[in-house]
Structure formats: structure tokens, C-alpha cells
Chains A and B, each alone.
Chain A
Amino acid sequence: MIKSAVRGALLCTVSLLLASCSSPKGQVLRLATTTSTYDSGLLNDILPAFEAEYGVRVDVVAVGTGQALALGRRGDADVILVHAASKEQAFVEEGYGLARFPVMFNDFILVGPPEDPAKIGGVGQAAEALARIAAAAAPFASRGDDSGTYARERALWQAAGLQPDSEAGWYLSLGQGMAATLQFADEVGAYTLTDRGTFMAQRAQLEHLELMVGGGSISENADRALMNPYSVIPVNPAGNGGVQADLAQKFIDWLLSLDTQKRIAVFGIDQFGQPLFFPDSERWRSTRP
């Protein structure tokens, strides 16, 4: 009996060894991105085309924005795809990234309970809506973490001239991901800032949350401050031999190419009736009037 147990465990070890030997080094690109980007499903949709064309496997590590940049600083990722402009700028200025390349954008929206105690439904500008929420002391659920969404939320409060914290009993800082925050807001009847994609994906489960500010689609969103641009950043290989700089550059060229940008433009239409992202690379912009 013990012999067969040991045999079984040895089988596990051997099969693990074999599996790890099957992929030769140099054929794997490691992409660090945010959880909301990954959860949208876009990468699973477009990456196979890159993998097939270049014979490269892309390992996507989806973590919080802060952690993705930390992976870049340590050279544990070859390329980063995030949406946090000021953090990206600092990352490049400090020399960890070679440059920022715009890839695409989507938008944020404010959602809240159908009763709308703060009367923000249909307001055009988010800062004004937030001011009304504060004035009404209506419950507001915040990500309260290192995410791009939270960074934008704080910037919008600042634009409204406010700095709410947990001392004010209506401001609820959760320290959780977007889906969890939406679930919470749904249960409690709170307002929250969310990216449109996550809200649409979760819509069926969120029976007591409605879109308040941001319009029915990105093209209808009147507030520039709610735009959410994504950048791709090649990690600086200097001083870190493991970083695959050439592979990263190939990936970036592919990501910004017209073909890929077109795929990004249609992603989500099947499932939601509208695209989840708008392409925004230099090459794409140059083809627009």
C-alpha cells in the first residue's frame, strides 16, 4: 500500500518535471496586467493571434495595478499593460519602463441604487455627482486599494474639492476588487465608481444597481474625466538579464498594429451589444480623420 502511494506521488513529480521541460526558454513572454483588464476577457480573445503568429506563449499575470508595476520594477514581467497614468509616468521616469504607448481606452461610470437619494441620475459630470453624494451623505462604496479605479475615484473627489474618508460614516472603503465592491454596493444600496466593462459583465447579478452617470455607452459619456486610457510599457532590461526586451517589443508592435486595434474595437459587441474598449494607438489615431 505504501509502495503504491509512493509510486503515485513519484508519478506526480515526474509528470511535473516533464511538463516543465516541454516549453523551451525564450518562447515565453510574461505580461503583467490588472485584474479588471484580464477579467474583461479581451486578452483571452486577442492573444491567441499573437501566440500563433510568433510561436510564443504569453503568460498573463493579473494582479492589482500596484503589484503589476512592482513586478515590472523587479523585472519579473517583460511588459506591463495598465491604466493608471500618473503611476505609469513615474514608472517610466524612474527608469523601470522604457516608454508608455497608448493602446486603448474605456470609461468609468457611476452606479447607484434606483432610489437615487443624492439625485445624481443623468448628471453629466462625475465631480458634480460626487459633490451631491457628499452633500446628501449618501453611502458610497470605494475600492480603497491600489487599483487604477481607486486612483481615478480619488482624483474625481479632488476635482469636486472633497477628500472623504472613513471618518465620514457614508464613505465605505472596502479594499476589495471591482466585482466584490459592486456586490457590496448592490447589497447595501451604495453608489460606486466602476469601469463600464465590469458593470456590464455583472449586470445580471446586480439587481439593485443602476447606471447613474456616464451614459449608455462610451460614445455617450459626456465627462472626459471618466475616460480610462490603457498604456503598454516595455520593462527596462538594463541590469536585469531575464527580461525579454525583444519579445516585448514585438508584442507591443503587434498590440498597436491596425489589425489588433480593429479586433479590440469589436470585442464585446457579441456579448453586450457594444464594444468594451475603444482602440487608441498612434497608428490607429493616424487613420482617423
Chain B
Amino acid sequence: MTISAEKIGYQITKEDKRFIGWHMLVAITALSVGSLFGPLQALEFAGLDLYQYLTPVLESYYQGLTIHGVLNALVWTTFFIVGFTYLAVVKGLERPMTYPKLNRVGFWTMVVGLVTTGVPMLIGEATVLFTFYPPLKASWAFYLGLTLVVVGSWIEGWGFMLTLRAWRKDNPGVRSPFIAFAGVVNTVMWQIATIGVAVEILTMLLPWSLGLIDATDPQLARTYFWFTGHPLVYFWLLPAYISWYGMLPKQVGGKLFSDSLARLAFWLFLLLSIPVGFHHQFLDPGIPIGWKWIHAGLTYGVFFPSMLTAFTVIASLEYAAKQRGGKGLVGWIKALPWNDPSVVTQLLAGILFMFGGIGGLVNASYNINTVIHNTAWVPGHFHLTVASAATLSFMGMSYWLVPYIRGRKLYSPKLALIQAWTWFVGMIIFSNAMHVLGLLGAPRRTPLGSAPYVPDEWAGHLLRVSIGGTILLISVIMYVWIMFKSATGPKADPADVPEIPVAESVRDPQLTPEWLDNFKPWLIATLVLILVAYGPQLIAQISDIQLNAPGVG
């Protein structure tokens, strides 16, 4: 209905399109390679160990698992997110970056980091999984490369923040456009959150892997790691939320239900994503029980903005569906555009994420965590979050994004629909089986097809993991094929090229209170809360540091 009006809106420059395209190319390449290793794990569970045929290239199950985790969870996500945030900032603010060179420097720093990390991983010098807990030791290049990826993402982030600042200077008193605002909130959260892993690598892991210090303090390293590790989850999720709040309503022919509450949710994610890391360490020996309780409570707090999101996103969908003639308490769901692959992927991602959220509450629940900690439940859980809510949404977003930046049509929307549904079905089979295995006590990160203690009763679930994993591989192959064809096919008539969907708000955003568009109070509150929730324990653990675990590697 407003397609022609949209065309008049701000058009991203050719250079910017190409630059965003580079992010997508790296992201999707990482996903293609990383995803090949996922099913190797899943098939091993059913006793089909393909690793034995890959020995010239791959040393072990664990090396494959490391590559799968790093490329899919860290590289695909980070490159996609930074590229997408770039687009959200320039489109939202309707202006190019204030310092475009900054972003170019950031991007190429990330690429150099990726190569530096990738080489030791591929030659088997960094089989430490994507959590790289010391004192398992990787090549120094692995740590250095990860550092460069993070630093590169910081530099790109400075580009986003400075551009928003310049916009605000030129537009005093105007509410910042939602997608740009939300992209920068995620950027700011990432900059604070990654300080933990930066300190871990620069003060401990890098000097240790270079032989400058002999040993590590593994407990302190875990504390640093999880300072970053949980907000990392939100860094993955929030770009999907930007789409669900600020773009999907437009794609289904409606509007954002509540601009105020959308902003409030993003502020609460900034506030609460970081001071919750101990809920990954409930079963660690070196952290006092009182602090674990405090982080358990704060983790429950993050449940609140998630519930807000569920409400606002579903309400926006209902609003749109009713505009389209949908009726009834749930009957309106049928009126959504179930033939649009970009919409369907995101709707299915949202459904999977509801199960992910419920499982996440279990993980957060202090003593209940003892049932599932380090079991197959945990990868079952995060395949619903990072591998569905984030990844499946990103796939859906790229169904308009890649054709848009390439000036082409989406290749075979029908195949894209099949891709969305196969991911959904494959993931339900895979993640349900993983959750059940976890409840039965199956450890994570373990080739269960060859573990001696596996009882017969697990066999059916192990088989389901293999079946689900195989379906997911088929789905990802379809996705990469569609992306390849959409990026390289013949140039399309401009009228057929998808536009960037930017949803309007039901209510004028100018009515949103000023404090919901002001970084200062929220930043101060965030830093204070981090100091309160982490400060005393960080001081205690750092002042009691004992570098006495030399490890192996």
C-alpha cells in the first residue's frame, strides 16, 4: 500500500550497499562452512562416525565442534549483525555514516582477525571449542584473531554511535528513528559486554599462549568470559528484535504496536544483559552462593523485556492481520502473509524462540540448573536461540536484504518457503531430542555415539538428533543456494527489487517520553548495576589471583 511512497524514501548509496554486501558475503560463507560440521556431530550420535574418513583434514569430533561453534555462533552472527546494523543506522537516520572510513577500518580488522583465528582452528592448533576455557591451550593466533574480530566490531560500532550523535545534534528534540536507535543500543551493550573477554585474553590467555606467563587462573578466566558470554546472547538476539519490532510489522502490512515499549525493552536489555553472567557459573566452585542468588534474580529480570517483546510483536502482527481482514481470537493468524518467505522465516523463528525462552528460564533457575548444566539440554536450548531466533530470522531478513543491496529479485521465493519450514521442522526434531537427552543426563560436547556409559534407552533420541541435524543441513544448503542465486542472478527491474521494510508506529513516536530516547540515564544505570553486581566479586577474585594452572594444549 505504501510501496511507491517507500521508494521516495532515503536510498542507501551504492558504496554502502557494496560495503554491507561484504559483511553478508563473509557471514554467509562462514555459515556455509560451519554448518557442514554440525551434522557430523549429529550423525555421530547415531553411530555414523564420518570423522574417521576425514582424518587427513580433521583430527577429531572436537575439532569439528570447535569449527562449527566458532564459525556459526561467533562469525556468521557477528558479521551479519554488524552489516545489518550499518544498514539500520544509515536507513533509519536517512544519512550516510559520518566517518565512513572508520567502518571500513573496523570491517577489515574483523576480516584479518577471522583469518588469524581460522588458520590455527583448521590445522588443529586450537581445538578448545568456542568457549576456549583455560587451561586448555590454543595457538596464540587463535586468541589474537578473536581479539581482532572484537576490536574490529568495536571500531565499526564507534562509526554507528558517532553517526547517531551527529544526527541528534542536527535534529534536537526529535525522537531518533527506532531501527537506528535500537541498532546503536545493541552496539553500546556489545562495547561494554566485550570488555570481559578482552581482559581475559589480553591479561591472561594471550601472554600465556605466547609463553610470557606460565599459567592461568581458570576460575577468574571463567568469570571474565561469562561477563561477555551472556550479553553475547543478546547481541545475537537484538538484531532479530529490531526486525521483529521495526520491520516485520511493515512486511505484514501493519505498524509497530508500541514505540514506547519497544524502546523500553531495548533499554532493559542494555541494563540487564550484562550483570547476570554468574547464572552460567551456578555450579562453579569459586563463586559465593550469595552472588549466585543475586545474578539469578537479575536473570529473572531479563525475562520481563522478553515478555514485553512477545506481547508487542504479537500485538503488531494481530493489528496487521486484522487490517488484512483477519478475524477471531486466533483466526487472524491465518490472515498473515504465509506466502512471503521473509515473513514466514521470522514467524517460525519467533515460535521456536518461545520454547527457547521457556528453556532459558529453567537454565536461569539456580538449583534447577543442576539438572541441566553441561548436558545436551544446553546446546538443545541455544539452537532455539542463536540458531533459530537469531539465525532463522537473519535468514528471513537476508531474503529482502541481499536482493536489495544487489539490485535483484529474490531467487525462487517458493524454495525459500521450503527452506524456512525445513529449518523449523528439523530444529523441532533436533532440539527436542537434545533437551530430552539432557534431562536423561547426557553430557554436552561429547561424541555420544562412542561414549561407553550411554544406556540403550538413549538410542531413539540420539537417532532423532541425527535426523534433525540432517534436515537442518538440507535447509542450510537451500539457503546458501538461494543467496548465491539472488546475489548473482540477472539485474531486476527496480520495481521488482525488494525495499527496506521500515515500520511506522501506531502512535507518533514524538509522543514517546524523552527519557526513553536519552542514552545518559540508561548508561549510568547500566554501569552502576554492573559495578554493584560484578564489582565486589571481580575485586575479590582479581586480588586473590593464583596463576597456577599451566594446562595442556
Q: Do A and B come from one complex?
A: no
